[in-house]
Chains A and B, each alone.
Chain A
């Protein structure tokens, strides 16, 4: 199993450009999430999905869109990049769906995004 994969590993964008961060998992997990990590702020939830066709907003959703057409894939789209979106982005998946109290998050290796 490859686990959770993310592409690209690094990306530089100009303000106003759009792009999609890819995330895929091969563990048949129902629950997938996108986080951003900034120094001194831990990980903040952007969007999450409890299964194919179902997505919901997290703590910091503005400027990002997601869709979940298959169990395996959960892409994150930046509509019009801004310098405030410079961050490290992590995709995660887990067995548990919303409402379960016990679940382990499996994280991808991250995408380092710089917006100039």
Chain B
């Protein structure tokens, strides 16, 4: 069974601080996605990384896929209250294309 461990589970920081969320597994994934979910809504895709070592930037968000395609990180620079939400990583398995989700990281950015 493939598992994705996300850390930390909860993060409360002040506006302007930097943070990193980690997503780790002992399994290899064909691709990895990051989603953001706001209360009362469904998750929305932020990015997909496919190649080992790949780095993608989305404004103040930087996503990295590990060289071995077993782990990923999300780094936010100068966090803002609008970044508050639940961040989920999800790996696509190699067998059926199903998505395996991590437990999520609940981020709160205080002004």
A residues with a Cβ closer than 8 A to B are 4, 31, 33, 35, 40-45, 48, 56, 58, 90, 92, 96-110
Q: Is the pair B44, A107 in contact by a Cβ cutoff of 8 Å?
A: yes
Task: Say yes or no for B88: interface residue by CB 8 A criterion.
Answer: yes
Give the number of A-B contacts (CB < 8 Å): 70
Residues of B within 8 A of A109 (CB): 40-42
B94: chain A residues within 8 A (beta carbon): 101
Would A103 and B43 count as touching, CB distance under 8 A? no
Residues on B with C-beta less than 8 A from A107 are 42-44
CA distance A102 to B31 in the complex (A): 6
Q: Which of B30, B31, B42, B103 has the most CB of A within 10 A?
A: B42
How distant is A24 from chain B, measured CB to nearest CB, in Å?
Answer: 14
Whether B42 and A110, one on each chain, are in contact in the complex, defined by CB atoms closer than 8 angstroms, is yes
